[in-house]
């Protein structure tokens, strides 16, 4: 007798709600945050879901700064932890994002972008936080920045964000935009085993041998939870392999170089893109977030009109997926980069281009979507 195939659960979710499903599937058990449009549904859903879980903890904090501090503390104690914010709240997180990078604390920050600057357009889409996600915190440190363009991808990329955070001992930023976050679509909810879930590596050596920031084969030191018997000094100051503050040039250089090296050597794993009709394209659109959905239709319409158009959707924004972009630049006569800002990823494309082809931009900053017809006009 054969066992009937188990029917998957379907749900009609907002992008923000799909983020919550992805976080729980990845093993998140701690959320601290402060409500801010247009990310609030993430916090509201976490407030309902986490307290029902055996080890789930939800905290509404007094502001975004306190939220990030609580998330860092929870991660150091061994939890998979996250927060979500938007616009001005993301700016408030930057100092402690730098602290998490310096202490190599794995965590996830979801930022739902809106029009700006300042309080800007709280209920309208924008993509103005892209460069802030990479360069907002001061100093030299690597950071992982991801994006999603539809509701299923919101779930998927949240899982990826947690996996990257745990695998590389790093804060990870997932950038959505207001349209993606507030689009509602039918999706299939994951079952256990659908995603590979990665948890941080813990030390196998005796406590007296452990050094929390020591070089390893992968470049990512093992990380025990605080209170597990291992000596683990945590400071935002530059530190030696034992975690104690140092200003010795050779120790500072070794620490910074190792932090970058642990990311650089896994570019092939980290730099994620989606290609649509790109194999024979001589006109290529490079897009991310909700604009990628407009671009997909524009490319389809251009194909129907006889134009060899293709689309490169960026799922990883930083480290910028140069190897994927440069390969396509060499094969195309024209590249179009549409964005809901004055040109932030387009600067990265132009930096990589180095005269290989023509790069044109479409920029919109009035709180409205870039339409397929706008992109199609530039393609044709």
> What are the pLDDT digits (tens) for 45-87?
999 999 999 999 999 999 999 999 999 999 999 999 999 999 9
Domain boundaries, the chain: 10-188, 271-379
Map tokens 């941080």 to a residue.
200
Query: pLDDT at position 115, please?
Result: 94
Helix, strand, or coil (residue 253): helix
Query: pLDDT at position 218, please?
Result: 82
Same-fold call for 10-188 versus 271-379: yes
**How many CB atoms sit inside 10 A of residue 246's CB?**
18
Global pTM value: 0.96
CATH number 3.40.50.970 is the correct assignment for the domain at 10-188: yes
Element (H, E) at 89: helix 88-103
Query: pLDDT at position 246, please?
Result: 97
Helix, strand, or coil (residue 177): strand
Helix, strand, or coil (residue 244): coil
* Residue segments in the chain with a per-residue pLDDT below the cut of 50: 1-4
CATH code linked to domain 271-379: 3.40.50.920
In angstroms, the CA 274 to CA 38 distance is 26
Map tokens 């996830």 to a residue.
108
Query: pLDDT at position 6, please?
Result: 62
CB within 8 Å of 232: residues ≥ 6 apart: 76, 210, 212, 224, 226, 243
**Which CA distances in Å does 363 have to 109, 128, 291, 345, 351?**
26, 11, 11, 11, 18
Helix, strand, or coil (residue 288): coil
Query: pLDDT at position 155, please?
Result: 98
Determine contact, residues 259/141, Cβ cutoff 8 Å.
yes
In angstroms, the CA 300 to CA 314 distance is 18
């Amino acid at each position: 007798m054969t066992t009937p195939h188990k029917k998957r659960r379907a749900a009609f979710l907002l992008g923000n709600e799909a983020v919550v499903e992805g976080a729980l599937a990845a093993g998140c058990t701690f959320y601290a945050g402060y409500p801010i449009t247009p990310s609030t549904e993430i916090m509201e859903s976490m407030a309902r879901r986490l307290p029902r879980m055996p080890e789930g903890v939800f905290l509404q904090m007094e502001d975004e700064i306190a939220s990030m501090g609580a998330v860092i503390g929870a991660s150091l104690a061994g939890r998979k932890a996250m927060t979500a914010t938007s616009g001005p709240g993301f700016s408030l997180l930057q100092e402690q994002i730098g602290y998490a990078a310096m202490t190599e604390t794995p965590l996830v920050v979801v930022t739902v972008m809106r029009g700006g600057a300042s309080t800007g357009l709280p209920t309208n889409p924008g993509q103005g936080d892209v460069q802030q996600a990479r360069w907002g915190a001061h100093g030299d440190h690597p950071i992982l920045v991801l994006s999603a363009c539809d509701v299923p991808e919101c779930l998927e990329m949240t899982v990826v964000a947690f996996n990257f955070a745990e695998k590389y001992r790093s804060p990870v930023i997932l950038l959505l935009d207001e349209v993606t976050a507030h689009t509602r679509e039918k999706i299939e909810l994951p079952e256990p085993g659908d995603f590979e879930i990665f948890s941080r590596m813990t030390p196998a050596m005796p406590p007296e041998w452990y050094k929390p920031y020591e070089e390893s084969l992968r470049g990512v030191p093992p990380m025990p939870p605080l209170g597990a018997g291992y000596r683990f000094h945590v400071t935002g100051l530059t530190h030696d392999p034992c975690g104690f503050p140092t200003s010795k040039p050779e120790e500072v250089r070794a620490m910074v170089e190792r932090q970058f090296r642990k990311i650089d050597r896994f570019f092939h794993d980290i730099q994620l893109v989606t290609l649509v009709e790109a194999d024979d394209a001589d006109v290529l659109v490079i897009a991310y977030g909700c604009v990628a959905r407009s671009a997909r239709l524009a490319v389809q319409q251009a194909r129907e009109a006889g134009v060899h158009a293709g689309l490169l959707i960026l799922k990883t924004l930083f480290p910028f997926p140069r190897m994927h972009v440069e390969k396509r630049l060499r094969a195309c006569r024209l590249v179009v980069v549409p964005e809901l800002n004055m040109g932030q990823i387009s600067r990265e494309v132009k930096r990589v281009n180095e005269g290989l082809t023509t790069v044109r931009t479409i920029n919109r900053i009035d709180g409205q979507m870039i339409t397929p017809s706008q992109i199609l006009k530039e393609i044709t």
